[in-house]
């Protein structure tokens, strides 16, 4: 009988227990597909006595996760602790130092230390698997690295955070139903449903999506994982008013991560976008994730699925274990990812695109002329304008959409508009993406 692949799991939260359950429930199937058993032999977590709803009988318990990484019976360490520093990082480094393979769902760890860990894996001749770190149950890393290996990829974009997608979807549906729920109300609902953490800042401020985008950028373009190069904005400032105007203009608002390989530099950005309601990704709602890859042979390919949860994430973890069991050991990132095969990131103020702008102004003669002058001075051309009714002397919204313009010019124009005494709230801007 072939030797089993022996697994040590660090972190027994939702995903860790999901991995244990999957390995047990589908043990026969996995053995048929790999030619050898895949067995969990050791675990580590903070609370040994906690009832997790899954049996730990027959598993070695390690109080210190680093001891798990040095356990003589463990071939592969599965890191499901989370966080970019501390025990998760120490465990990962210890695993390679002790000749173990490493599989992780930790996007923060990879976003900040991916290059160093990939180098450690290479020196140890071991596998670093991270399918579960990006887009949950969607096998996007394998699709990009293997399935689309014959394509020159010009760009990848997607919905990379289910919490934000749920909030944007719920706000959109409430506006359509005539209820116009605000951001805080929908966020509270997401927390009550378990879709958002008690402290949701990592999700709603775009950081989680940016971690994942930094990883995807390295997979696609062969440049070093560089979280600091990602332009990051969240969704806190998106209001029901903006959602309503987006619907009227034929758009949906989504938080997207976008990476493109331009002539001068690689672009990495995470921010709310207005996209045409007819775009395939506009119809991906709720807590689902979606990624679109643009290849020179395949065209645009959309991958959609659940972005979190015990089952989907465990599925992605086990996909990496299957590779290891089959002996499919490959570099963590494409050739060039540890070097400088791509130029530095393109600054966001160089971005060229169309923009949605919402202003709250005092309704009186000359307001629009003043706004138009600020845009004209920066050579920003208006495509369309919406103004609802007349309410002399009161606050009213004015919405503009622009033709393509350089972001630095739009930002300068908005700064000048903000100084007008008839504009009583900071201007709101959302980029329009043509997909």
Cβ–Cβ under 8 Å, residues 320 and 103: yes
DSSP H or E stretch at residue 311: helix 310-325
Neighbours of 425 (CB within 10 A): 12
Helices (DSSP H) in 177-309: which residue ranges? 183-192, 201-204, 207-221, 240-249
Annotated active-site residue 142? The verdict is: no
One-letter-per-residue 3-state SS of 378-397: CCCCEEEEEECCCCCCCEEE
Among residues 212, 254, 346, 364, the one annotated as catalytic is: 212
Q: Any residues with CB less than 8 A from the CB of 222 and at least 6 apart, and which?
A: 333, 334, 335, 336, 337, 341, 342
Per-residue tokens: 380: 């920003």
Per-residue tokens: 176: 């359509």
Beta strand extents in 89-146 (DSSP E only): 101-104, 128-129
DSSP H or E stretch at residue 290: strand 288-295
Sign of CA dihedral 359, 363, 368, 370: negative
User: What is each CA distance from 23 to 20, 131, 314, in whole angstroms?
Assistant: 5, 17, 9
Residues with active-site annotation: 212
């Amino acid at each position: 009988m072939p030797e089993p692949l022996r697994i040590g799991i660090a972190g027994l939260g939702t995903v860790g227990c999901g991995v244990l359950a999957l390995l047990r429930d589908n043990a026969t199937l996995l053995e048929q597909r790999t030619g050898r058993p895949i067995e969990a032999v050791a675990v580590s977590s903070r609370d040994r006595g906690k009832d997790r709803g899954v049996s730990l009988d027959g598993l070695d318990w390690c109080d210190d996760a680093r001891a798990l990484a040095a356990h003589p019976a463990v071939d592969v360490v599965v890191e499901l602790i989370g966080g970019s520093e501390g025990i998760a990082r120490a465990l990962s480094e210890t695993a390679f130092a002790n000749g173990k393979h490493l599989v992780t769902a930790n996007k923060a760890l990879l976003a900040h230390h991916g290059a160093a860990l990939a180098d450690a894996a290479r020196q140890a001749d071991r596998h670093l698997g991270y399918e579960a770190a990006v887009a949950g149950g969607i096998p996007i890393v394998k699709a990009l690295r293997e399935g689309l290996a014959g394509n020159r990829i010009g760009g990848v974009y997607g919905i990379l955070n289910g919490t934000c997608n749920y909030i944007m979807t719920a706000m959109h549906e409430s506006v359509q139903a005539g209820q116009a729920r605000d951001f805080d109300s929908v966020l509270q609902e997401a927390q009550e449903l378990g879709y958002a953490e008690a402290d949701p800042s990592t999700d709603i401020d775009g950081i989680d999506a940016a971690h994942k985008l930094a990883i995807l950028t390295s997979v696609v373009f062969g440049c070093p994982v560089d979280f600091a190069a990602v332009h990051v904005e969240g969704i806190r400032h998106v209001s029901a008013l903006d959602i309503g105007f987006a619907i009227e203009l034929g758009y949906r608002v989504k938080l997207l991560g976008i990476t493109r390989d331009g002539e001068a530099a690689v672009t990495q950005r995470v921010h709310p976008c207005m996209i045409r309601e007819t775009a395939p990704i506009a119809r991906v709602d709720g807590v689902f994730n979606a990624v679109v890859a643009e290849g020179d042979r395949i065209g645009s390919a959309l991958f959609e699925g659940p972005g979190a949860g015990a089952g989907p994430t465990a599925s992605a973890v086990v996909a990496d274990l299957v590779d290891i069991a089959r002996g499919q050991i490959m570099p963590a990132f494409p050739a060039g990812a540890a070097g400088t095969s791509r130029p530095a990131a393109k600054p966001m103020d160089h971005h060229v695109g169309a923009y949605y702008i919402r202003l709250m102004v005092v309704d009186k003669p000359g307001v629009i002329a003043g706004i138009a002058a600020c845009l004209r001075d920066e050579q920003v051309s208006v495509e369309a304008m919406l103004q609802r009714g007349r309410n002399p002397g009161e606050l009213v919204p004015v919405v503009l959409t622009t033709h393509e313009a350089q972001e630095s010019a739009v930002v300068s124009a908005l700064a000048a508009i903000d100084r007008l005494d008839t504009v009583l709230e900071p201007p709101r801007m959302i980029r329009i993406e043509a997909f």
